[in-house]
Structure 1
Amino acid sequence: MAENLKPVALLLLLLNLCLYTILAIIGGWALNVSIERGFIIGPELRLPAHFHPIFFPIGNFATGFFVLFSLIAGVVGIASAMVGFNHLRFWNYHSLQPAAALGLLAWALTVLAMGLACQEISFDRRNAKLGTMEAFTIVLTVTQFFYVLAIHGGSHGPVPVERHAGNLP
């Protein structure tokens, strides 16, 4: 059973790596647009009445939080994929622990970003690239969850017990 899930985990891992990379690239683009087109306030001017601390000129009020959390989820997801490749290479109990922990962390951050994506979708005013980013976030929530289930499903088996020479009778 454990070896049957290895190709499934590899396929999900490759898909997640591609999607997280695209998510991080679009998130970086959106952050760059925000920095370049943000407010420039002179010493004699006041802030606008509805100034948002995380201002994104290409979306709505949820865009700033969505982009930041998606960018963080993308970077952690890419790190999760790198650790996941190491786990697929060895496919043992000791390599499962970091892969599962980082996979769950990436999934949790992706779920948070997905909630913000749903909030942004409900506000309705957004850019086409942000729409792509929202779709990738929603798809990644599902595929990352199945990836974590696949590597946990492959872990059922005997757990190695380490014994030191000084403790033997």
Structure 2
Amino acid sequence: MAKEMMKLVAAFILVLNLCMYIIVCATAGWALNRAIEHEIITGLETPLPNPYWAVYFPMGNAATGFFIIFALIAGVVGAASCLSGLHHLRSWTGDNLVSAALTAWGLTLLAMGLACKEIDLHGRNSRLKTVESFVIILSATQLVYVAVLILSHR
């Protein structure tokens, strides 16, 4: 009975995380696309602005570029981890999924740290605040999911 309850809790958190990771990917993808479309175009004799970043973000602050790239990576890895978790729910044997969930959680924590730095620096728009919020919430829910997986396979 307890094992079935843990399986239901894991399924709920897994679906919730999958939806949130998709939202993070979509919003961070929008920000990256906007940055690429607003690339600094200079002539041959025009010097590049100082400081020049490889990916110029016309919104946000100095942490935005790093945050968006790591949020996008964490979102893709997290969504892939959730999709493999849906397959894992059917068999529910062994603890081979814990490593994928831990990898996704680690990348989400890295993006969360950059989100906290971006919040500290101020000067961002509502879409960036959305990505920050979802990444911070995902760091907690992914930790709960990892804990449920570890406790249920003991």
Q: How much does 1:53 deviate? A: 3.2
Q: How much does 1:6 deviate? A: 0.5
- 1:3 is the counterpart of 2:1: no
Whether the aligned pair in 1 keeps the contact of 2:24 and 2:75 (CA below 8 Å) is: yes
Counterpart position of 2:92: 91
Q: How much does 1:2 deviate? A: 2.4
Counterpart position of 1:47: 48
Whether the aligned pair in 1 keeps the contact of 2:14 and 2:145 (CA below 8 Å) is: yes
Q: Please give the per-residue CA displacement for 1:72-109, whole angstroms capped at 9, x wherever unaligned.
A: 0000001000111111110111xx31x21110000000
* Whole-angstrom CA distance in 2 between matches of 1:8 and 1:155: 14
Whether the aligned pair in 1 keeps the contact of 2:10 and 2:145 (CA below 8 Å) is: yes
State the SS of the aligned residue for 2:3: coil
- The structure number with the bigger radius of gyration is 1
Q: How much does 1:138 deviate? A: 0.2
Counterpart position of 1:160: none
Whether the aligned pair in 2 keeps the contact of 1:66 and 1:113 (CA below 8 Å) is: yes
Counterpart position of 1:29: 30
* Aligned partner letter, 1:153: L
Identity %: 48
* Aligned partner letter, 1:138: I
Whether the aligned pair in 2 keeps the contact of 1:2 and 1:153 (CA below 8 Å) is: no
Q: Please give the per-residue CA displacement for 1:111-153, whole angstroms capped at 9, x wherever unaligned.
A: 0000000000011010110000000000000000000111111
* Aligned partner letter, 2:151: G
- 1:107 is the counterpart of 2:102: no
TM-score (norm 1): 0.88
Counterpart position of 2:125: 127
* Whole-angstrom CA distance in 2 between matches of 1:68 and 1:126: 16
Structure 1 unmatched ranges of 5 or more: 157-169
* Aligned partner letter, 1:115: G
* Whole-angstrom CA distance in 1 between matches of 2:47 and 2:101: 45
TM-score (norm 2): 0.96
Whether the aligned pair in 1 keeps the contact of 2:36 and 2:55 (CA below 8 Å) is: no
* Aligned partner letter, 2:111: A
User: How many pairs are equivalent?
Assistant: 153
State the SS of the aligned residue for 1:125: coil
State the SS of the aligned residue for 2:43: coil
- Superposition misfits of 4+ residues, deviation over 4 angstroms: none
Whether the aligned pair in 2 keeps the contact of 1:52 and 1:61 (CA below 8 Å) is: no
